[in-house]
Amino acid sequence: MATERQIEANRLNAESSTGPRTPEGKAASSMNALKSGLDAFSQFVYGEEQDDFIILQQEYTARFQPVTPEERFQLDTMLRSEWVLRRLHRVEAHLWEYHTLKASRSDGVPLGDAFANHSTVFMRLQRRVTLNERAYKDAKAELQSLQAARQAADARPEAQQNTTQTPKLGSFLKFQREPLREPADGDALHQTESISDRSEASTTGPTPKKP
């Protein structure tokens, strides 16, 4: 059973866990994060406290912020694996105590006697520990992969939009180098005279050659 000091330490760890720290980030995470699918009332056995499990849920949710059912499933797998590992560690301690008390004390080696006569039990327990550790690592790797893929997908449309709306630097510089020029008075007069000459030539026709 957890002591008051352990419960307070777990609470402080939950408060200092990595997660959104700004008001905007906390507001967004409170809307996006999915709650754990594990029920605290069905996860504890004799000698365990519901408060410890709830604090552990809060720590993991604040740390990983799942936003899809798939992410939540992997997070729950990690959560349950750690909770079971804590239980198995207590089981190991109880097994040592139980078999040591029943071992012969005449030789002065009760621990050796306990393990020699009950090594099969300890090995079976170790297999359970190994399986839960493996499940935890696999779930964490899958969760990180899912979150990385989701974040990349969320960032892709924004990057494309920024690329479409941003003008090309070369066109902008060319526009700056070649400003619009208003025609001078002489240019306008010359252009008018050229138009008049072409109109008169098209009306009178070609000049006949002298014999």
pLDDT digits (tens, 9 = 90+) for 100-113: 999 887 888 999 99
| Residue 23 belongs to a domain | yes
Position 33 scores a pLDDT of 56
Sign of the Cα pseudo-torsion (168, 172, 177, 182, in order):
positive
CB 132 within 8 A of CB 84: yes
Position 17 scores a pLDDT of 46
| Residue 102 belongs to a domain | yes
| Residue 81 belongs to a domain | yes
Position 95 scores a pLDDT of 96
Position 116 scores a pLDDT of 92
pTM (predicted TM-score): 0.58
Position 40 scores a pLDDT of 61
What span, in angstroms and rounded, lies between the C-alpha atoms of 74 and 148? 14
| pLDDT tens profile 92-142 | 999 999 999 998 878 889 999 999 999 999 999 999 999 999 999 999 999
| Residue 91 belongs to a domain | yes
| Residue 175 belongs to a domain | no
| pLDDT tens profile 152-166 | 988 886 656 565 555
For residues 171-182, average pLDDT: 53
What span, in angstroms and rounded, lies between the C-alpha atoms of 59 and 52? 11
For 93, the domain range is 4-150
Question: How many domains would you assign to the chain?
Answer: 1
| Residue 103 belongs to a domain | yes
| Residue 162 belongs to a domain | no
| Residue 34 belongs to a domain | yes
